[in-house]
Structures are given as structure tokens and as C-alpha cells.
């Protein structure tokens, strides 16, 4: 009997996953059918920080007193002074620029956790990971950057960001995992490693904060109690 997944989640049955040439036996679990969106995380994000350094721990991982660390994100100040918001067309997009800590803490607040690298690989095999070109995502809020920085500077900033990404395959959004390099890929850690494994269709990588995680999104997982499978 297959248990009914929680709303917005998919059921992944117990399976064997070949990850980087090693076979892993995975118990069944639930995983979000799609990545967490800006719409999903904004209310929590606005309640989770109280100052600039606190925000930088959750978004991009950088900090400067003029909030320039937010310049390559869709986040902007809410006109009502109620914290952060994003332009309307961005609200349903995968929430990128969120740090590993931010993603982990948000998911914990709703009873979920980051998937291990192997769990995300199983989700990819089930067809749940969609290749999204981050260039198109960035262009969705390019108009906002133009309005705040001027047409020329806004477009030049976007072009500079993608100078090292020559093909669409290089620009596909990655997703956070709870696995750290050197640890078993089936594990999901609860502490931030200096480096963290990211994953997308085609295999794993290692997170690099030089661009503020503008191309890294995330989704949640819930382990199944054994009783649910009996």
C-alpha cells in the first residue's frame, strides 16, 4: 500500500540508486515535487532576521553595510517597510540565493530537511528535477535591476554575472543537499560543512559562494515512519 504524500510532495518508494558508481539502498521517503519558491519562503525569511548580518547568514552568505550583497538577487525592500519582497513575476520561481543555513532552517521550521545527495538523485530518476536555465530566471527580474541601477548598468551587471557560463547546460539551476564532500552520500548532515554538495540532473557539484548562490535552489524531504509502510 502506497501512503498518500503530504500536499505538494511526491512519494519515492524504497529503491537502489547508483550514485557516482556506488549502489545505495534508500528507504522510502517524501520529497517536494518542486523547489521551494520565493512566495513560499518570504514570510519566514522576513520573520527570521533582525539585522544585516543576520540576513546575510540566510541570503547569499555575504554582508556589507549598504546591502550591496543583495544586488544580484530579486530581493528588494517592501514599500510598506515590512521587510523583503520580490517582483510579482519572480514570486513563483525557485528561491535561489538562499544559503545552506537559510534553506536548512526554513525547512526545519515546517518539519522537513534537505535531501541527501542520493535522495536527490533518486528524485531526479523519478523525473522530479526540472532543468531551469538560470539566465532566463535572472532576466525575469532584469527590469528591476535596470530601474535601480540604470538601463546600461543593470544589463552590464547581468552580462558580467554570466560571462563564465557559455552554454545553457552550464546555467541549469543546482539544488542544495544535506551531504558534505567526503561524507557518505546517503547521509544528511545537520551542521554546516565548509563545502556542501549541490546536485542537478547529470550529477553532483560543490557549492561556491563567489556568486552568492544565485543559481542554487532547494526542496524538502520527510522521512517515512516505518509504521507508514506496514
Compute the distance between CA of residue 137 and CA of residue 25 in angstroms, rounded to an integer.
Answer: 35
pLDDT in tens, 142-190: 656 566 555 555 556 666 655 555 566 667 889 999 887 656 566 555 5
Q: Write the pLDDT tens digit of every residue in 17-44.
A: 999 889 999 999 999 999 999 999 999 9
Give a yes or no: residue 41 inside a domain. Answer: yes
Domain span at 152: 9-224
| DSSP category for residue 122 | H
Q: Domain with 123 in it: what CATH number?
A: 3.90.1580
Q: Flag whether pLDDT at 226 surpasses 80.
A: no
Taking the C-alpha atoms of residue 88 and residue 38, their distance in angstroms, rounded to an integer, is 10
Q: What is the pLDDT of residue 197?
A: 86
Residue 229 falls within a domain, yes or no?
no
**Higher-pLDDT residue of 188, 69:** 69
Query: pLDDT digit string (tens) for 84-129?
Result: 888 787 888 899 989 999 999 999 999 999 999 999 999 999 999 9
What integer pLDDT is reported at residue 91 of this predicted model? 87
- How many residues are listed for the chain in this entry? 230
CA distances from 154 to 92, 98, 150, 160 (A): 22, 22, 6, 10
Please indicate, yes or no, if residue 21 is contained in any of the structural domains.
yes
Higher pLDDT, 201 or 195: 201
User: Within a domain: residue 1?
Assistant: no
Q: Please indicate, yes or no, if residue 230 is contained in any of the structural domains.
A: no
Structural domain total, the chain: 1
Give residue 68's Cα distance to chain centre.
21
Residue 73 lies in a domain: yes
pLDDT the model gives residue 146:
61
Does residue 115 sit within a domain?
yes
Would you report the helix, strand and coil content of the chain in percent, each value rounded to 5?
A: 35, 20, 45
Please state the pTM of the whole predicted model.
0.85
pLDDT at 216 over 70: yes
Q: What is the DSSP string of 85-113?
A: E--GGGTTSB--SB-HHHHHHHHHHTT-B
Amino acid at each position: 500500500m502506497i501512503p498518500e504524500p503530504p500536499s505538494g510532495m511526491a512519494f519515492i518508494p524504497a529503491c537502489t540508486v547508483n550514485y557516482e558508481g556506488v549502489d545505495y539502498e534508500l528507504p522510502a521517503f517524501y520529497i517536494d515535487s518542486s523547489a521551494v519558491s520565493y512566495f513560499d519562503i518570504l514570510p519566514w525569511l522576513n520573520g527570521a532576521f533582525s539585522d544585516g548580518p543576520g540576513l546575510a547568514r540566510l541570503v547569499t552568505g555575504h554582508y556589507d553595510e549598504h546591502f550591496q550583497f543583495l544586488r544580484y538577487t530579486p530581493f528588494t525592500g517592501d514599500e510598506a517597510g515590512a521587510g523583503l519582497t520580490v517582483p510579482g513575476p519572480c514570486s513563483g520561481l525557485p528561491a535561489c540565493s538562499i544559503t545552506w543555513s537559510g534553506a536548512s532552517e526554513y525547512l526545519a521550521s515546517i518539519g522537513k530537511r534537505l535531501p541527501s545527495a542520493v535522495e536527490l538523485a533518486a528524485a531526479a530518476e523519478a523525473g522530479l528535477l526540472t532543468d531551469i536555465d538560470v539566465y532566463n530566471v535572472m532576466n525575469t527580474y532584469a527590469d528591476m535591476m535596470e530601474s535601480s541601477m540604470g538601463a546600461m548598468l543593470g544589463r552590464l551587471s547581468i552580462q558580467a554575472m554570466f560571462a563564465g557560463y557559455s552554454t545553457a547546460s552550464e546555467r541549469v539551476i543546482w539544488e542544495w543537499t544535506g551531504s558534505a564532500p567526503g561524507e557518505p552520500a546517503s547521509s544528511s548532515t545537520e551542521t554546516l560543512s565548509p563545502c556542501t554538495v549541490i546536485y542537478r540532473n547529470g550529477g553532483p557539484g560543490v557549492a561556491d559562494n563567489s556568486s552568492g548562490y544565485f543559481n542554487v535552489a532547494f526542496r524538502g524531504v520527510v522521512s517515512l515512519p516505518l509504521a507508514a509502510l506496514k
